[in-house]
Amino acid sequence: MSDPLNALPGKARRQDDPPDSPRSAGYSEPLRVRLADRDNPLPLDCGRELWPVDVEYEVFGELSPSRDNAILVLHALSGDAHVAGWYKDAEALGRPWYSKRPGWWDTMVGPGKAFDTSRYCVICSNVLGSCYGTTGPLSIDPRTGKPYGLKFPVVTVGDWVRLQERLVTHLGIQKLLAVAGGSIGGQQAIEWGLAFPDRLKCSIVLAASPVLSAQGLAFNAVARHAIRTDPNFRDGLYNGGATPDKGLGVARMIGHITYLSEVSMSRKFGRRLRNRHEPGFTFDVDFEVESYLIHQARSFGERFDANSYLYMTKAMDYYDASAWGDGDLARAAQRAKCAWLVASFSSDWLYPPAQCREWVAALCANRLPVTYVNIESSYGHDAFLLEVDTLSRLIPDFLRGVATR
Amino acid sequence: MSDPLNALPGKARRQDDPPDSPRSAGYSEPLRVRLADRDNPLPLDCGRELWPVDVEYEVFGELSPSRDNAILVLHALSGDAHVAGWYKDAEALGRPWYSKRPGWWDTMVGPGKAFDTSRYCVICSNVLGSCYGTTGPLSIDPRTGKPYGLKFPVVTVGDWVRLQERLVTHLGIQKLLAVAGGSIGGQQAIEWGLAFPDRLKCSIVLAASPVLSAQGLAFNAVARHAIRTDPNFRDGLYNGGATPDKGLGVARMIGHITYLSEVSMSRKFGRRLRNRHEPGFTFDVDFEVESYLIHQARSFGERFDANSYLYMTKAMDYYDASAWGDGDLARAAQRAKCAWLVASFSSDWLYPPAQCREWVAALCANRLPVTYVNIESSYGHDAFLLEVDTLSRLIPDFLRGVATR
C-alpha cells in the first residue's frame, strides 16, 4: 500500500509519466461515433427516446485478433474519455487543462500499469449527459435547433450503460474482458454486470455501493440547489451568456469535501493559515483549506458545464442496483454471471465500506465469485484515484485469473 | 437515554410544554441593556474598540439573595436569547416563528427540568454580531449613520465571552454557578473557564471541541462563499433591498447536513421519494431529504441575517482554546479553576468525540475536576438538543454537586 503521508494529494503526488516514457499510454486522441439516430434512437429509462447520440471515446492498446482483451473503463462525475496518456494539442481540443497533465487515471492505465495497455485494449467513453464530447445538455436539440439545456432528458446509469453497450458492439467486441470504475464509475460497473451479464467476464467495482445514501442525496441536493439558484443559470439556457459559475463553484466545493476524509483534510491543511501568521479579521481567505476550495471552485467553472453537473448528480441519485430485483438486492444479483472484484476504502464516507459490502453480500448470497477488499486508506473517497500501489497489486492478478479462465 | 427511533427529529419530537404547564418556563420577554458606549467601549480581539454595544438577554427563575444560583446558557450559531418559555406576542417582537413554539432549549430549561428554573436563575444573552437584538452588522454604525454590514468588526468567541462578563457584572453576579452550552455555545463554555476562571463554579460543555477541524472550516468556507457570491449580497449592504436568501439558504442546507448524522438522515428520510412512487425524471424535488433541506433553506431566510451568518461562522473558525497556552492546549487549561462536565455524542461528526476528548485530556493533564461522558446517540451534532433524557439525568446531579461544594 502507498504510504498515505508520503503521497498527499496535491502535495507529494506521484510524478506524471511524460508521453515518451515507457510506462505512458502515450498520445491519444478523442474519437467520436454516432450510436443512435432517428431510425435507431436510444430508449431511455425516463420513457423518452433520444437521437442523435454521439459518443466520445478513447482507445489504448491493441484489440487482440480474437477481441477478447478489451477493458471498458467507466468514469466518475467530472471525468471524461481521456483516461490516460496525453493530448498532442489540448488547446486545440478546447481542453487546455489537459496540456500539462495526462488523463485522469494515467497512474493506472498504461504499459505495465494496473490496466496494462501492452496486454489489454482499454476503452473509455464519455457518458451521456456529460459535457466532454458525448451528447448532453450542451448539444443541439434537433426539434428546436437550439441547445437542449434542461430539455435534455434526465438520464440514468442504466442509460449510460446501454449506450456503452452500443459502443462495445460497434467496436466488434462480443464479450468484454472487464469493466472497471470507481465512484459512479463503480456503479456503472455494477450495472454492466446486471444489464448485460453475458457481455463481460468480470467487473471491477471501486468505492461504489449499490445505492447512494440519504446523506449523499443531501449533498447532491445542495449542489443542484446552488446551481439552479444562480441567477446566471436561467433555467439552463445560459449558452452564449454569463454562465452559472458561482453556483457550480459551490457545488464543486461541496463535492471536494465529500471526496476527502476528515483525516486527509486535517493532514493536508489542518488549520494552517494562508499567511502563516495571524488571522486577518476580515472575510478574505484565512485558512489554507478555504483557499484550496475556492481555487477548486474557480477552476471547475472553466472546465465543466453546470447543466451536466445537474444531470450527472441526478443519475447518481437515481441509481439503485436493487431495481433489477424489484427492490431486493440479492434477487437483483441473481442476474449476474461474471467474476467480481470489489474494493472499498476505509475512510470513504461518500460510499462507505459498509454500504459497498452490501453489494458483496448480495453476490455472496448468490454464490457468485467475488473478491472483496477493504483498503485501509486515509484518503477518503478519492482513494480510488490515489491508492495506486495497492490497486496495482490487486488488479493485474485478478485480471490474469479472469483472462485465463 | 431516549430511544433514538422513538424520537426522530421532526417526526416524534417531544410535545412542547404550553406556557401554563407546570414544567414550562412560562412567558418571557427579551430585555436589553447597553454594555459599552463611547466612554467604555468593548475592546475586541481584532484590535478595534466597539461602541455602542447593546445586549439582548432573557432571565428565567429568581436570583437568590446571595446571587449564587445563576446559570448562563450560551447559544449556538443560529440561536438567540430566547432559550425557554414563550413570547406573549412573537409577531409584535418581529419573530413570528416563535408564535407556535417555545425557546430553543425549552426541553432543558424550566421548572423541574435539567436547568431547573425553580432552583436556578437561568440567563441567556444573544451574542455580539448576531441578528437577534445584540449589536451586530444590522446595527447602525455611529460613524456613518448607516448599518455596519461588513464594516462590523470580525468578532470572536473571546469577544462574546468578554461581553457576557459585562452582562453578568451588570446583573450583580460575582460568580456564576455554571455556564452551559452546546456546539459553539460549548466553545463559549470552554472560553469562560479560561478567560474568567474566578467568575464561575462550573462549565458544561456539550458537543464542542477546543477547535474546529479542517473539515469544519471547509464547510464554513463553502457556506460563506455561497452567501458572498449571491448577487443580492452586494458586499453586505443589502438592507432595504433584496436579501441574499439563496446564498444563505445554501449555507443553511450545508449546516443541516453537518448537524445530522448519516444514520439519522438514513432513518429519517432514507431514499424515500416524495411522491412515494417513481422518480419524476425532472429536476423537481424527488427525494424527501431534498424537500426537507429546501424547506430549511427557505425558512431560514425568513429568520436569519446573511451578514450575521458570516460573522458567526468566522468566530467558529477562529476559536482555538489553545491560544491561552500559546498553542499548547494543556498549558491553556492550566488557567482553568472550575469543575467541568463535558459531553460528546457518538455520531457527532462536526465536533467528533475524539476531538471533544482533547479538551478533557487537557483538563486531566492539569488534574482539574472533569466529568466526561460520550453519549451514545444516532442524532449526530444535533444530539445536544435532542438527547434530553440523558442530559436531564446528568446535569441536575452535576449542578447539585457543584452548588453544595
pLDDT computed for residue A12 by the predictor: 41
Instruction: Kindly report the number of other CB atoms within 10 A of residue A302's CB atom.
Output: 10
Identify whether the C-beta of residue B121 lies closer than 8 Å to the C-beta of residue B71. Answer: yes
Cβ <8 Å between B270 and A222? no
Using the predicted structure, report yes or no on whether residue A389 has a pLDDT greater than 90.
yes
Grid coordinates representing A238 are 445560459
- Nearest CA distance, A4 vs chain B (angstrom): 18
Q: Specify the residue for cell string 430549511.
A: B296
pLDDT band at residue A10 using 50, 70 and 90 as cut-offs: very low
- In chain A, which residues have their Cβ closer than 8 Å to the Cβ of B246? 229
pLDDT above 60 (res A4): no
Distances (CA, A) of A54 to A25, A144, B168, B179: 25, 18, 71, 65
Burial track B222-255 (b if 16+ CB lie within 10 A, e otherwise) = bbbbbbbbbebbeebbbeeeebbbbbbbbbbbbb
**What is the per-residue pLDDT for B10?**
42
Q: Which chain A residues are closer than 8 Å to B353 by Cβ?
A: none
CB contact (8 A) between residue A266 and residue B213: yes
Cis previous bond, B244, omega within 30 = no
CA angle B35, B85, B62 (to 5 degrees): 60
Q: What is the 8-class DSSP label of residue B373?
A: E
Q: Give the model's pLDDT for residue B239.
A: 81
Of A12-21, A333-342, A353-362, B264-273, minimum mean pLDDT range: A12-21
Nearest by CB to residue A154, choosing from B221, B250, B282, is B282
At A275 the pLDDT is 78
Chain segment A233-244, per-residue pLDDT in tens:
999 999 888 999
Q: Which helix (H) or strand (E) holds B255?
A: helix B245-259
For the question of residue A348 being annotated catalytic, the response is: yes
Q: Give the model's pLDDT for residue B193.
A: 98
CA distance B222 to B255: 10
Give the nearest partner residue to B283 out of A150, A219, A250, using CB atoms.
Answer: A150
**Nearest beta carbon to residue A214 from set B246, B266, B352:** B266
Contacts of A224 in chain B (CB under 8 A): 283
Residue ranges for chain B with pLDDT beneath 50: 1-13
Q: Which value does ipTM take for this structure? A: 0.94
Residue whose entry in the numeric block shows the C-alpha cell 475512510: A347
List the single residue in A with minimal CA-CA distance to B290.
A221
Q: Is the pLDDT of residue A6 over 50?
A: no
A30 torsion bin: left (phi>0), alpha (psi -120 to 50), beta (else): beta
- Cα(A81)–Cα(A130) distance, rounded to whole angstroms? 11
Kindly report the number of other CB atoms within 10 A of residue B144's CB atom: 10
Q: Which amino acid is at B144?
A: T
Letter string b/e over residues B322-350, b meaning 16 or more CB atoms within 10 A of that residue's CB: bbbbeeebeebbbebbbbbbbbbbbbbbb
**B315 touching A, CB under 8 A?**
no
What pLDDT, in 10s, does the model give residues A12-49?
Answer: 446 899 999 999 999 999 999 999 999 999 999 999 99
Q: Which residues contact B326 (CB under 8 A, 6 or more apart)?
A: none
Rounded Cα gap, residues A72 and A123, in angstroms? 5
- B381 catalytically annotated: yes
What pLDDT shows up at residue B11? 41
Question: Is residue A202 less than 8 Å (CB to CB) from chain B?
Answer: no
Distances (CA, A) of A173 to A165, A180, A272, B145: 9, 16, 52, 75
Q: Which of residues 218-237 of A touch B (CB under 8 A)?
A: 218-219, 221-222, 224-226, 228-229, 231
List of chain B residues whose C-beta atoms are within 8 Å of the C-beta of residue A348: none
* B286: annotated active-site residue: no
Geometric angle at alpha carbon B95, from B93 and B97, rounded to 5° = 145
Q: Does B242 touch chain A (CB under 8 A)?
A: no
Q: What is the 3-state secondary structure (H, E, C) of B119-176?
A: CCEEEEECCCCCCCCCCCCCCEECCCCEECHHHCCCCCHHHHHHHHHHHHHHCCCCCE
pLDDT at B277: 72
Task: Give residue A225's identity as a one-letter amino acid code.
Answer: H
CA-nearest residue to B349 within chain A is A262
Q: How far apart are CA A388 and CA A372, in angstroms?
A: 17
Q: Which residue has the cell 467475488?
A: A370
- B15 touches A at CB < 8 Å: no
Interior angle at CA A146, CA A140 and CA A150, nearest 5 = 80
Q: Which of A137-151, A166-180, A276-290, B350-364 has the lowest mean pLDDT?
A: A276-290
Report the distance separating Cα B310 and Cα B130, nearest Å. 10
Q: What is the pTM of this model?
A: 0.95
- The pLDDT score that the predictor gives to residue A9 is 44
Interface test with chain A among B45, B235, B250, by most A beta carbons within 10 Å: B250
**Contact status, residue A189 vs residue A204, Cβ threshold 8 Å:** yes
pLDDT at A15: 81
Residue carrying the nine cell digits 406573549: B88
Q: Could you give all domains of chain B from N- to C-terminal order, each with its CATH number? A: 4-211+320-403 (3.40.50.1820)
Q: Hey, is the C-beta of A246 within 8 angstroms of any chain B C-beta?
A: yes
A33 is written with which cell numbers?
461515433
Question: What string of H, E and C letters represents the secondary structure of chain A?
Answer: CCCHHHHCCCCCCCCCCCCCCCCCCCEECCEEEEEECCCCCEECCCCCEECCEEEEEEEECCCCCCCCCEEEEECCCCCCCCCCCEECCCCCCCCHHHCCCCCCCCCCEECCCCEECCCCEEEEECCCCCCCCCCCCCCEECCCCEECHHHCCCCCHHHHHHHHHHHHHHCCCCCEEEEEEECHHHHHHHHHHHHCHHHEEEEEEECCCCECCHHHHHHHHHHHHHHHCCCCCHHHCCCCCCCCHHHHHHHHHHHHHHHCCHHHHHHHCCCCECCCCCCCCCCCCCEHHHHHHHHHHHHHHCCCCHHHHHHHHHHHHHCEHHHHHCCCHHHHHCCCCCEEEEEEECCCCCCCHHHHHHHHHHHHHCCCCEEEEEECCCCHHHHHHHCHHHHHHHHHHHHHHHHCC
Partners of A222 on chain B (C-beta within 8 Å) are 250, 253-254, 257, 293
Cell of A338: 461474471
